[in-house]
Amino acid sequence: MQKTNKHTRTLTHRIEKLSLKKLWTLYSIAITIIILLLTFSQIINYSFSQKQSVDADIINMAGRQRMLSQKITKCILLIHNDHAPDTYAKELKKAIQLWKKSHEQLGKHNTKINNEIIKSDADFLYAKSDAFLKKIIDDAKGFSDQSSKEVVQEILDNEAYYLVHMDQLVGIYSDYANYKLKLVQNTSILLFIITLVILFFELFYVFRPTATRINKTIAELEKTKNINHEKIQEIDQLYRSLGQAYQHLSESKETDENLHATLAKVNMEGDFTFISEKLFDIIQTKADDFTSSLYYWLASEGYKKEMIQEILDIVINGETWAGTIKVTDAEGDFKWLEIILSKIYGKPTEILIVGRDITDQKESEERSKEINQEEIDKHIETQKSRSLLILKGQEEERGRISKDIHDGIGQLLTALKFSLESINPAQVKISTNKLKESKGLLKNIIREVRRVSFNLSPNTLGDYGIHAVLTRFAQETSRLSDVEIKYSNTSDFNQRFEKHIETNIYRIVQEAVNNAIKYAEAEEVDIHLSHDFEALYIEISDNGKGFDMNNLEIHGGGNGLLNMKERAGFVGGEISVSSAKGKGTKISVEVPIEEN
């Protein structure tokens, strides 16, 4: 029994020490890298979008320079032909000022080009166009309707050269913008490949080990349950044996009349040489009606002569024989005798038969067996019912875990896969939106994994105790559901119990809150914790639809309530339930502190 208890404690300790610390480290590193890559990608895309906007403005500005040069030549031709010279002279002046200012801005843009080859070509073309621009401006400043045709022709020729060089400069700006676009596309493809590699790493080295760890934990919990079940059976058997011992002691107390006494003597051949009145009283017969031989007496009671002779041979050889025989009295009732046969040395040598009547004790044992058999049958039926409920609860828990993984993490991973597969690096804006969606899906996956892990085994419980885990549980449940969970610790309880006690208390509260949300359809649940020197008190109350206490499917328990009662019994506590239709439900748990 001690060995079994030690094995159970060792296995329980091993299960309690199951930690996802290493797994969480890998997971956190991988997720952090993905977040950094997504953030870096967003920064690159945003920076490129800003620069692309500037490049577009420069190209538009260069195109506008062509328009302004044509406007200047148009005004000069109109003034030369005497078409409203005053009006077009003003317009010419404004166009020249704007043309000159835009040309200076283009020059400043050239200094920001990082590629030396492109910058050299741009500077060369800019210098050429700058020379023609200055010639056009010098001729245009002193231009009037009296200017000669030679001046007009010179302006037109310079304007033609200016347009040729400006077209080439616009082409260089366009090539530079395409060069930067290609660089960003290559960077995006590289980041996309790295992200995919990390995601596959998480799939094979994080999520798959998580599923394996969950299955292993469930298997070890199942094994521990079986060991505990055997332990409970052994304890029940010990209690029953102890009860039988007390019953036998109370019903078979020996009196002076029930002590061992000399019953008879026989010679070496088995013939009686002496029979005491004690034996005649036990079998309720007279000396005249009794047989003269031990062989005939026991043979008439159904014992074989070979066995009788074997007993006599043992005693003749100097050994003592002790045992129990069943005989009948004169009325045909059974009598049980506890006898001892020993050899008496003398002249002649005889065999002494000492014994006592244990009929009452035997009858008490039989009655006790009948009573105990009824208790055993009842206990077996109860254990069967509990085992079925435990198995059903385990199947429900497995189904819930499977549903959480499939409907939560599985769906999110599938959505993330489709989102990443739909990214086209050539479509920058669409790819940016897709990466934002993927980042949001990753955050949801992280939250879902944390929720499932917290429900399986909250780390806070092992580190800080029941108060901390109930605080966290209320916050997480409120955040993940539409129900407001309020938790209060009015007596500032911060004492630590043994791990299995804290786990059972937490599971009771978890079961009660889940029932309130799932079945009672409550909108608000209050968890109230307090304590004194003797016990810890927890109340879980809700404003749900409640139920009729006099018409309970759970009159014998109900799966959820029975599980809570069993857990409370495991830690030496008690649980009570009060409810009414339309008035909510209150579950009170009391766990003794001194015993823990």
CB 572 within 8 A of CB 525: no
Whose tokens are 């599985």? That residue is 410
| pLDDT reading at 263 higher than 90 | no
Residues 6+ apart with CB under 8 A from 497: 465, 466, 505, 571, 591, 596
Q: Which is more confidently placed, 322 or 183? A: 322
pLDDT at 320: 87
Judge whether residue 177 has pLDDT over 60: yes
Q: Which of 166-175, 241-250, 530-539, 541-550 has the lowest mean pLDDT?
A: 241-250
Highest mean pLDDT among 40-49, 284-293, 311-320, 424-433: 311-320
Of 58-72, 290-304, 520-534, the one with minimum mean pLDDT is 58-72
Q: Which stretch, 282-286, 372-376, 458-462, has highest mean pLDDT?
A: 282-286
Please write down the HEC assignment for all residues of 77-114.
HHHHCCCCHHHHHHHHHHHHHHHHHHHHHHHHHHCCCC
Question: Cα–Cα distances in Å, from 469 out to 13, 45, 125, 428, 458?
Answer: 19, 43, 72, 46, 7
% the chain with pLDDT above 70? 76
Tokens, residue 479: 């955040």
Read off the tokens for 582: 């339309």
Mean pLDDT within 203-225: 77
Task: Provide the pLDDT confidence category of residue 552 given band limits of 50, 70 and 90.
Answer: low
Lowest mean pLDDT, pick from 181-190, 330-339, 484-493: 181-190
Q: Which residue has the higher pLDDT, 592 or 141?
A: 592
CB-count exposure of residue 544 (10 Å: 0-12, 13-18, 19+): buried
pLDDT tier at 537 (50, 70, 90 boundaries)? very high
pLDDT of the residue at 591? 92
Q: Which of 146-155, 465-474, 546-555 has the lowest mean pLDDT?
A: 546-555
Q: How far apart are CA 114 and CA 6, in angstroms?
A: 74
One-letter amino acid for residue 181 of the chain: L
| pLDDT of res. 587 | 93
Tokens at 577, concatenated: 């339930």
pLDDT of residue 134: 78
Please tell me the least confidently modeled range out of 126-140, 169-183, 482-496, 550-564.
Answer: 550-564
**Per-residue pLDDT, 336:** 86
Closest C-alpha among 390, 456, 526, 580 to residue 18: 456
Buried-state track 327-360, b at ≥16 Cβ within 10 A, e below 16: beeeeeeebbbbbbbebeeeeeebbbbbbbbbbe
pLDDT given at position 404: 62
The whole-number pLDDT of residue 410 equals 66
DSSP 572: T
Confidence of residue 525 (pLDDT cuts 50, 70, 90): very high
Residue scoring higher pLDDT (253 or 479): 479
Rounded to whole angstroms, the Cα distance separating 20 from 24 reads 6
Mean pLDDT of the chain: 76
More confident of the two residues 536 and 95:
536
- Packing angle of the helix pair 208-251, 2-16 (nearest 10 deg): 150
Question: Which amino acid, one-letter code, is at 404?
Answer: D
DSSP line for 462-493:
HHH-HHHHHHHHHHHHHHHSSSEEEEEETT--
- Give 16's pLDDT tier (boundaries 50, 70, 90): very low
- Lowest pLDDT segment from 308-317, 343-352, 544-553, 566-575: 544-553
- Alpha carbon 525 to its chain centroid, in Å, reads 22
Look at residue 528 and tell me whether its pLDDT is greater than 90: yes
Contact 297, 291 (CB under 8 A): yes
From the list 530, 525, 535, the residue with the least C-alpha distance to 497 is 535
Tokens 């058999």 belong to 373
Per-residue pLDDT at 316 exceeds 50: yes
The token duo for 216 is 């292993």
Write down the CATH number for the domain with range 458-592: 3.30.565.10
132-136, 473-477, 566-570 — which is least confidently predicted?
132-136
The answer to whether the CB of 299 falls within 8 A of the CB of 309 is no
pLDDT, position 394: 59
Is the pLDDT at 213 greater than 80? The verdict is: no
Identify the bridge partners of residue 589 per DSSP, sorted by sequence position: 538, 575
Quick count: other Cβ atoms within 10 Å of Cβ 38?
17
Nearest partner of 462 among 423, 503, 490, judged by Cα: 503
Dist CA 561 CA 301 (whole Å)? 58
Q: Which of 1-5, 237-241, 320-324, 454-458 has the highest mean pLDDT?
A: 320-324
Q: Of the ranges 200-204, 321-325, 379-383, which one carries the lowest mean pLDDT score?
A: 379-383
Over residues 572-578, mean pLDDT: 89
Q: Is the peptide bond before 348 cis (omega within 30 degrees of 0)?
A: yes
Residue 557, phi-psi category: left (phi > 0), alpha (psi -120 to 50), beta (remainder): left
Please, which pLDDT band fits residue 554 given cuts at 50, 70 and 90? very low
User: Looking at the predicted structure, is the pLDDT value of residue 248 above 60?
Assistant: no
Tell me the mean pLDDT in the region 391-412: 62
Q: Quick one: which H or E segment has residue 525?
A: strand 524-531
In angstroms, how far is the first alpha carbon of the chain from the final one? 22
* 582 close to 545: Cβ distance less than 8 angstroms: yes
* Nearest by Cα to 371 from 233, 232, 238, 248: 248
> Looking at residue 391, what is its pLDDT?
58
CATH class of 2-222: mainly alpha
What does the alpha-carbon distance between residue 338 and residue 358 come to, in Å, rounded to a whole number?
6
Strands 524-531 and 484-489: parallel
What is the mean pLDDT of the segment spanning 293-304? 84
Residue 306: per-residue pLDDT: 85
pLDDT reading at 393 higher than 60: no
Tokens for 1, please give them: 């029994």
Count CB atoms within 10 A of the CB of residue 368: 17
* C-beta separation of 282 from 337 below 8 A: yes
> Which range has highest mean pLDDT (55-64, 223-232, 501-510)?
501-510
Local structure of 330: helix, strand or coil: coil
256-357 fold = Beta-Lactamase (3.30.450)
